[in-house]
């Protein structure tokens, strides 16, 4: 049966299609890369680029990576940072990496292991077509996450010492809680999240055996109102007065609830950037992560980068540390934290069994 | 879980969670009463959330942020109006296009606004106003009488909308356009004008619902902050039988189940939380099964209006 297409139908069809196409393309346009694609044969200058799943200034995961890279660039003047590709969906991860490969960028960083599976083919093809390109993936365990990779010749990963990170937060929480009730929000039930929480609670109970922990590992990373609601519920029902979060925007919601409950009695420990300041009155300190991008850059320059090596960010190399304190943390408490920090650094504060005992209950 | 201990917090979460849904759903009532099923609420709310956040942060005036957010919502919804009313395009397809376009515009704007200045990442928030006496009522006082002014306005809007549709000539015009636009036209009602007016109101209210998220709930904007509330608002319109009071009840009920979900997650932390997360959505599906009858609602809902058609 023949169908008559009127001029009005044609216009509306075209307009609808245009609207959808604009929508699909606009999200990625906010901060597209403008790398020049030039490269010097002598390698007197290098280029580094990063792909992030969220914004680079989200106050959490993305910003932690961006600040780490900015810090590394400051100490490596022969390196140029291309504008990071932000808000990259998993479906766009391969094309984002490929665009940097096409520019022969020396070091391409995946901010998180969510891009690892999508990058497999890009890494394999780049090994032949662009041998100067290196890939660094953060929060990635090569034994499990990279098992399907054809080659790891130009690949390294960064892992944070989660036991140290969790223990630092736990010491602060254990010393600062008045009610003996501490909370934790994680975005996803990942093994790394469980390890962080287990170390956090174990450390808090080490300095204050009365401490009880409350957790949620499935909060996601975007719904700030969930962070507000669950923290309110913990405050009302369990008297929780210290929170530590690993869920980006959701952590902001938790801070909102803590502020409403009173910033003199309810505290937040932020991560992974130093967030103490007037914008975050409930934040008393932060567990800060430096993703050791400078070390990776040094290895690229020296030609020693690759083969699936793991760079660990820990307290010895400055990859993990406590940020500044707010005035809510007394000098006496700061001194105690300093004492415990030395023990954590020397790995004499918590045993692996302490952490595993809690982890096995989660 | 001690339910009575958790109840005040659940009720607080209920009212806070209900407000953005209520505002968007009231807008949708106007739209559907005029025969326009606008499934683009999610997108319009995203625009409202971002613009409210950004303008509130830039100017320091949160009410200006709200007003500009509503204007932005109207603007984006005019695209829907032009496609569906003037061009008679499919309303569902156009609404989906809005749902794709609008959050992308919001994210684009966010990237420009925050840029490399992370100080812009956190905005300001409206303060809660506790009504003396009433806010001290056990269990419900803090939930209902310690809210932001925008939340109070949202609840006050319910009887006003009800009165408008019941007793105003313009309200009756909306209803007649949604029931039988050709008959309405013969009575001298400008159907196209009414439909455009409905889109203006719908865009403004849905955007206000989005702005509530960033101006009253949490002082940040993130991509995906609306979290499906636009679609829930659509469901509450059906569950609420296209009436303002019904929409209020449905919004509060959804807010209650959402609050209950959080309370259960907080207290039964070793249980699989996905089960609890399903509760509000199971409620929505059940509500649609029982109340989503094809025979309910405006008769000409979702149908394009061709003036020359007989």
pLDDT score of A360 more than 80: yes
* Residues of chain B contacting A229 with CB distance shorter than 8 Å: 9, 13, 16-17, 258-259, 262
Q: Could you tell me the residue ranges of all domains in chain B?
A: 3-125+143-291
Residues A121 and A192 in one domain: no
pLDDT score of A146 more than 70: yes
Residue A1: band (very low, low, confident or very high) from pLDDT cuts 50, 70, 90: very low
Residues A245 and A335 in one domain: yes
Residue A154 lies in a domain: yes
Angle of CA points A178, A212, A324, to nearest 5°: 55
Average pLDDT over residues A231-251: 92
Q: What would the pLDDT profile of A111-145 be if each residue is shown by its tens digit?
A: 988 888 889 889 989 988 999 999 999 998 888 88
pLDDT score of A330 more than 70: yes
Residues A156 and A170 in one domain: no
pLDDT score of A25 more than 60: no
pLDDT at position A29: 47
Q: What CA–CA distances, in Å, run from A265 to A177, A283, A359?
A: 9, 11, 29
Residues A191 and A52 in one domain: no
Nearest to A317 by CA among A339, A336, A289: A289
Flag the least confident range among B14-28, B70-84, B118-132, B207-221: B118-132
- Per the CB < 8 Å rule, is A225 touching B217? yes
Flag the least confident range among A211-220, B151-160, B298-307: B298-307
Q: Starting from the edge strand earliest in sequence, which strands make up the sheet with A309-313, in order?
A: A79-81, A46-51, A107-110, A134-138, A155-160, A309-313
> B212 — contact with chain A (CB < 8 Å)?
no
Six-digit token string for A342:
């030395």
Residue from the list A22, A30, A232 with its beta carbon closest to the beta carbon of B107: A30
Longest dimension (CA), chain B: 64
A residues 249-268 closer than 8 Å to B (CB): 249, 252-253, 256
pLDDT score of B294 more than 70: no
Residue A336 lies in a domain: yes
Residues A117 and A91 in one domain: yes
- Is the model more confident about A95 or about A32? A95
Residue from the list B9, B90, B118 with its beta carbon closest to the beta carbon of A236: B9
CB A19, CB A52: distance < 8 Å: no
pLDDT at position B287: 79
Residue A308 lies in a domain: yes
What CATH number does the domain containing A113 carry? 3.40.50.2300
Residues A153 and A219 in one domain: no
Taking the CA of residue B263 and the nearest CA in chain A, the distance in Å comes to 6
Q: What CA–CA distances, in Å, run from B258 to A20, A104, A107, B13, B166?
A: 31, 49, 45, 8, 31
Residue from the list A15, A230, A361 with its beta carbon closest to the beta carbon of B266: A230
pLDDT at position A222: 82
Residue A90 lies in a domain: yes
Nearest to A215 by CA among A360, A59, A362, A356: A362
- Considering A140-144, A218-222, A306-310, B21-25, the range whose residues carry the highest mean pLDDT is B21-25
Six-digit token string for B198:
């409905």
B residues 24-53 closer than 8 Å to A (CB): none
pLDDT at position B44: 97
pLDDT at position A268: 96
Taking the CA of residue A279 and the nearest CA in chain B, the distance in Å comes to 7
* Residues of chain A contacting B107 with CB distance shorter than 8 Å: 26-27, 30, 87
A residues 107-136 closer than 8 Å to B (CB): none
pLDDT averaged over every residue in chain B: 91
Residue A12 lies in a domain: no
> B112 — contact with chain A (CB < 8 Å)?
yes
Q: What is the DSSP string of B23-61?
A: HHHHHHHHHHHTT---TTHHHHHHHHHHHHHHHHHHHS-
Residues A344 and A212 in one domain: yes
Residues A274 and A187 in one domain: yes
Six-digit token string for B145:
């009488």
pLDDT averaged over every residue in chain A: 87
- Per the CB < 8 Å rule, is B122 touching A59? yes
What is B3-125+143-291's CATH number?
1.10.3470
Helices (H), chain A: 7-26, 61-74, 90-102, 120-129, 142-145, 162-176, 191-207, 224-238, 249-261, 293-302, 331-345, 352-359
CA dihedral B161, B167, B170, B174 (to 10 degrees): 70
- Per the CB < 8 Å rule, is A19 touching B98? yes
pLDDT score of B54 more than 90: yes
Phi, psi (rounded to 5 degrees) for B60: 75, 0
- Per the CB < 8 Å rule, is A279 touching B122? yes
Residue A130 lies in a domain: yes
Flag the least confident range among A4-18, A100-114, B80-94: A4-18
Average pLDDT over residues A92-102: 92
- Per the CB < 8 Å rule, is A233 touching B5? no
Taking the CA of residue A260 and the nearest CA in chain B, the distance in Å comes to 10
Q: What would the pLDDT profile of B66-124 be if each residue is shown by its tens digit?
A: 999 999 999 999 999 999 999 999 999 999 999 999 999 999 898 888 876 777 888 88
Place of tokens 């929780």: A240
Residues A226 and A340 in one domain: yes
Residues A246 and A214 in one domain: yes
Place of tokens 């984002």: A96
Residue from the list B94, B110, B258 with its beta carbon closest to the beta carbon of A16: B94
> B130 — contact with chain A (CB < 8 Å)?
no
- Is the model more confident about B61 or about A11? B61
A residues 39-58 closer than 8 Å to B (CB): 54-58
pLDDT at position A41: 52
d(CA A121, CA B288): 45
CB A34, CB A83: distance < 8 Å: yes
DSSP state of A81: E
> B88 — contact with chain A (CB < 8 Å)?
yes
- Per the CB < 8 Å rule, is B273 touching A218? yes
Taking the CA of residue B169 and the nearest CA in chain A, the distance in Å comes to 32
Residues A78 and A126 in one domain: yes
d(CA B106, CA A291): 30
How many CB atoms within 10 Å of residue A355?
A: 24
The number of helix segments (H) and strand segments (E) in chain B equals: 13, 2
pLDDT at position B132: 92
Angle between helices B149-167 and B191-212 (to 10 degrees): 160
Six-digit token string for B186:
């013969």
- Per the CB < 8 Å rule, is B87 touching A86? no
The helix/strand/coil state of B7 is: helix
Flag the least confident range among A21-35, A162-176, A306-320, B186-200: A21-35
Long-range contacts of A328-333 (CB under 8 A, 24+ apart): A328/A176, A328/A263, A328/A264, A328/A267, A328/A284, A329/A172, A329/A176, A329/A284, A329/A285, A333/A175, A333/A176
Please tell me the number of Cα atoms within 13 Å of B300 on its side-chain side.
Answer: 21
Q: What CA–CA distances, in Å, run from B277 to B18, B40, B97, B250?
A: 17, 24, 28, 18
- Considering A7-21, B88-102, B217-231, the range whose residues carry the highest mean pLDDT is B88-102
The number of folded domains in chain A is 2
Q: What would the pLDDT profile of B234-287 be if each residue is shown by its tens digit?
A: 999 998 989 999 999 999 999 999 999 999 999 888 888 888 988 888 887 887
Longest dimension (CA), chain A: 86
pLDDT at position B293: 65
Name the helix (H) or strand (E) containing B17: helix B3-33
Residue A177 lies in a domain: yes
CB B265, CB B142: distance < 8 Å: no
Six-digit token string for B94:
């156009």
- Per the CB < 8 Å rule, is A15 touching B89? yes
Average pLDDT over residues B120-141: 89
Length, in residues, of chain A: 362
* Residues of chain A contacting B1 with CB distance shorter than 8 Å: 237
Residues A184 and A108 in one domain: no
d(CA A322, CA A289): 9
CB A355, CB A198: distance < 8 Å: yes
Place of tokens 């400078």: A294
Q: Starting from the edge strand earliest in sequence, which strands make up the sheet with A242-246, in order?
A: A212-216, A181-186, A242-246, A267-270, A283-289, A320-322
> B252 — contact with chain A (CB < 8 Å)?
no
- Could you tell me the residue range of the domain that residue A226 belongs to? 162-288+330-359
Angle between helices A293-302 and A61-74 (to 10 degrees): 50
Residue A5: band (very low, low, confident or very high) from pLDDT cuts 50, 70, 90: very low
pLDDT at position B245: 94
- Per the CB < 8 Å rule, is A223 touching B225? yes
pLDDT score of A196 more than 70: yes
What is the interface size between A and B, counted as CB pairs within 8 Å?
171
pLDDT at position A300: 95
- ipTM score for this prediction: 0.85
Please tell me the number of Cα atoms within 13 Å of A204 on its side-chain side.
Answer: 32
pLDDT at position A43: 76
pLDDT score of A7 more than 60: no
CB B249, CB B34: distance < 8 Å: no
Residue from the list B105, B218, B270 with its beta carbon closest to the beta carbon of A253: B218
pTM (two decimals): 0.83
Residue from the list A87, A215, A217 with its beta carbon closest to the beta carbon of B107: A87
A residues 179-218 closer than 8 Å to B (CB): 214-218
- By CB atoms closer than 10 A (0-12, 13-18, 19+), residue A91 is exposed
Six-digit token string for A313:
């960010």
Average pLDDT over residues A310-314: 95
Taking the CA of residue A286 and the nearest CA in chain B, the distance in Å comes to 17
Q: Which residues contact B155 (CB under 8 A, 6 or more apart)?
A: B19, B22, B248
Of the residues B95, B111, B213, the best mutation for testing chain A's interface (the one with the most A CB atoms within 10 Å of its CB) is B111
d(CA B238, CA B233): 9
Residue A33: band (very low, low, confident or very high) from pLDDT cuts 50, 70, 90: very low
pLDDT at position A165: 96
Q: What CA–CA distances, in Å, run from A336 to A110, A210, B29?
A: 37, 18, 60
């Amino acid at each position: 049966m023949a169908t008559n297409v009127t001029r009005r139908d044609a216009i509306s069809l075209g307009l609808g299609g245009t609207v959808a196409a604009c929508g699909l393309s606009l999200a990625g346009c906010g901060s597209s890369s403008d790398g020049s694609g030039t490269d010097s044969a002598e390698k007197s200058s290098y280029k580094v680029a990063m792909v992030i799943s969220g914004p680079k200034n989200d106050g959490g995961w993305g910003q932690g990576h961006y600040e780490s890279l900015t810090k590394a660039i400051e100490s490596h003047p022969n390196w140029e940072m291309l504008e990071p590709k932000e808000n990259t969906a998993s479906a766009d991860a391969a094309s984002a990496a490929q665009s940097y490969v096409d520019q022969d960028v020396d070091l391409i960083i995946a901010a998180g292991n969510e891009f690892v599976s999508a990058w497999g083919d890009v890494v394999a093809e780049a090994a032949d077509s662009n041998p100067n390109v290196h890939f660094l993936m953060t929060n990635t365990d090569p034994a499990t996450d990279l098992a399907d990779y054809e080659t790891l010749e130009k690949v390294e990963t960064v892992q944070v010492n989660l036991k140290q990170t969790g223990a630092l937060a736990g010491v602060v929480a254990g010393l600062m809680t008045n009610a003996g009730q501490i909370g934790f929000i994680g975005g996803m039930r990942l093994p790394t999240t469980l390890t962080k929480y287990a170390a956090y609670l174990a450390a808090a109970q080490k300095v204050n055996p009365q401490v009880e922990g409350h957790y949620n590992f499935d909060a996601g990373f975007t719904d700030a109102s969930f962070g507000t609601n669950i923290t309110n519920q913990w405050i009302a029902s369990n008297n929780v007065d210290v929170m530590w979060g690993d869920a980006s925007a959701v952590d902001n919601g938790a801070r909102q609830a803590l502020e409403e409950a009173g910033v003199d009695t309810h505290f937040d420990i932020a991560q992974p950037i130093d967030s103490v300041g007037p914008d975050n009155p409930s934040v008393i300190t932060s567990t800060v992560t430096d993703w050791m991008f400078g070390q990776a850059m040094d290895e690229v320059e020296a030609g020693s980068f690759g083969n699936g090596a793991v760079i660990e960010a820990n307290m010895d190399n400055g990859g993990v540390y406590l940020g500044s304190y707010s005035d809510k943390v007394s000098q006496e408490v700061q001194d105690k934290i300093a004492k415990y920090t030395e023990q954590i650094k020397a790995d004499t504060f918590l045993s692996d069994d302490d952490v595993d005992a809690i982890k096995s209950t989660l | 879980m001690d339910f009575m201990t958790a109840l005040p917090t659940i009720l607080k979460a209920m009212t806070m969670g209900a407000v953005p849904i209520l505002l968007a759903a009231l807008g949708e009532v106007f739209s559907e009463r005029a025969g326009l099923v606008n499934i683009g609420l999610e997108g319009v709310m995203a625009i409202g959330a971002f613009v409210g956040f950004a303008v509130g942060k830039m100017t320091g005036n949160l009410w200006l942020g709200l007003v500009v957010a509503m204007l932005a919502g109207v603007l984006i919804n005019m695209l829907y109006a032009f496609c569906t009313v003037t061009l008679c395009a499919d309303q569902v397809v156009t609404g989906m296009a809005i749902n794709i376009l609008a959050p992308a515009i919001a994210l684009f704007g966010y990237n420009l606004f925050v840029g490399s200045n992370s100080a812009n990442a956190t905005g300001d928030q409206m303060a809660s106003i506790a009504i003396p006496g009433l806010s001290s009522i056990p269990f419900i006082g803090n939930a209902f009488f310690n809210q932001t002014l925008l939340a109070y306005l949202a609840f006050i809007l319910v009887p006003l909308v009800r009165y408008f549709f019941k007793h105003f000539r313009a309200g009756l015009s909306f209803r007649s356009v949604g029931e039988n636009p050709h008959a309405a036209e013969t009575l001298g009602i400008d159907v196209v004008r009414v439909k455009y007016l409905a889109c203006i109101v719908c865009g403004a209210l849905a955007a206000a619902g989005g702005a509530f998220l960033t101006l009253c709930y949490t002082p940040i904007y993130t991509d995906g902050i609306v979290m499906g509330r636009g679609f829930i608002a659509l469901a509450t319109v059906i569950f609420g039988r296209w009436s303002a009071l019904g929409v209020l009840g449905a919004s509060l009920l959804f807010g209650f189940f959402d609050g209950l979900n959080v309370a259960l997650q907080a207290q039964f932390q070793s249980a699989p939380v996905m089960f609890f997360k399903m509760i509000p959505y199971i409620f929505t599906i059940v509500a649609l099964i029982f109340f989503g009858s094809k025979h309910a609602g405006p008769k000409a809902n979702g149908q394009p209006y061709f003036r020359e058609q007989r």
